[in-house]
Amino acid sequence: MDCPKCAVGKLSEVIVRIQVPGTDRELTVDQCFTCQGVWFDANELETYLQEKLTVLNSGVLSDEALKELDYKVGKCPRCQIPMSKKRGPSKRRINVDYCEKCHGYWLDCTEVDRIEPGPSVMGMLEDFFGYLSTLTGGH
């Protein structure tokens, strides 16, 4: 499958092993190793979050590249229709790309870290700077 955002990368399967007492199963997601974004088929993102997995790490891209990827409307890699922006399924303030037809989610590279349960570095920084802005009156 082609990457819906960077348009040069191909999606590769990444197998995430879920090992908790009494459970040993796998979750297969698709990742672009060019822009580091991740495609979750229907229900995969919920499983990833419910299992409290934090094994997918985002790559390092420039702020400019991240902004460009965030604003770009990508096509669903499964259905080839334009995806819509939707509030991410977490407490973090992020919007993710969502396919209305197959119910899959595309997360740009840093969105993966920001949506994972528990404190991520990006999430802690957002919370910290949000707190600082309340102290300074938003200046």
Dump pLDDT digits (tens) for 1-26: 999 988 788 999 988 776 666 777 78
Segment-wise mean pLDDT, segments of 10 residues, the chain, 139 residues = 88 79 79 88 86 61 74 91 86 82 91 67 55 61
Distance CA 139, CA 104 (A): 38
136 to 59, 97, 130, 133, 139: CA distances (angstroms):
32, 33, 10, 5, 6
Global pTM reads 0.72
Domain ranges of the chain: 11-135
Count of Cβ atoms closer than 10 Å to residue 69 Cβ? 23
Handedness of CA 103, 107, 112, 117 (dihedral sign): negative
At 2, the amino acid letter reads D
